Amino acid sequence: MGKLSITIMLIISFVFGVSLFFLTPLFISSLFERIVDNALIANILEGLIRLFLFIAYIWLIGKMGDVRRVFGYHGAEHMSVAAHEAGQHLTVENVRKFPEAHPRCGTSFLMTVVTVSILLFVLIPREPFWMLIGSRIVLIPLIATISYELIRYAGIHSDQFWIRLLTRPNLILQNLTTRPPDDQMLEVAIDAMTYALELDNTDSKNQG
């Protein structure tokens, strides 16, 4: 793929994601706002709709054969990373001992984005409507930044009970985005992990 094709794909993906997960819940909740006539309830409802759409989307794409195979590689990736972090030699036998879920997974990040957006948007007034729509788009970078820092903090302090408790929903959600990998998938994940570590060591030496 050329740079132009990748750029177009990223733009389409961004527009699709914002439209489905940020603007669609807003418009649906606006319909209910006319019934309940309460901005706070409408904002909470919007957040719940966003959460439902996110989980439903992941569940639906997980029914596709090709995606299910990708999810197998996804689980293998997590297992190889966990094995490396535990100081284990990267072999299929060692990697197989570790769980398919990982606290710093991209799925966890997206789930955190949804949660942070619920907490942030609930504080924003629903009038005027144009500003309401704008806030759902303009605040995305802020939400992503906060979510990244939360995931990073949780990864550093994963040994604390309250951190494990708060991140438990993220790990449970990964049941939808990971599958038990076969040995070939684990071998691919190990090769990728080994190559990444070699590049990291090379960069460190060059910087030194």
- Tens of pLDDT, residues 74-95: 999 999 999 999 999 999 999 9
pTM listed for this prediction = 0.82
Identity of the amino acid at 141: P
The pLDDT of residue 128 is 84
Nearest to 108 by CA among 16, 52, 41, 175: 175
pLDDT at 51 over 80: yes
Q: Provide the mean pLDDT of the chain.
A: 90
Can you give the pLDDT at residue 95? 96
Beta strands in the chain (DSSP E): none
101-122 pLDDT tens trace: 988 888 889 999 999 999 999 8
Tell me the three state secondary structure of residue 168: helix
Cα separation values, 196 from 74, 83, 101, 185, 187, Å: 16, 14, 20, 16, 14
Per the CB < 8 A criterion, the answer to whether 113 and 147 are in contact is: yes
**Which pair of structure tokens corresponds to residue 10?**
């990223």
Q: Are 126 and 33 in contact (CB under 8 A)?
A: yes
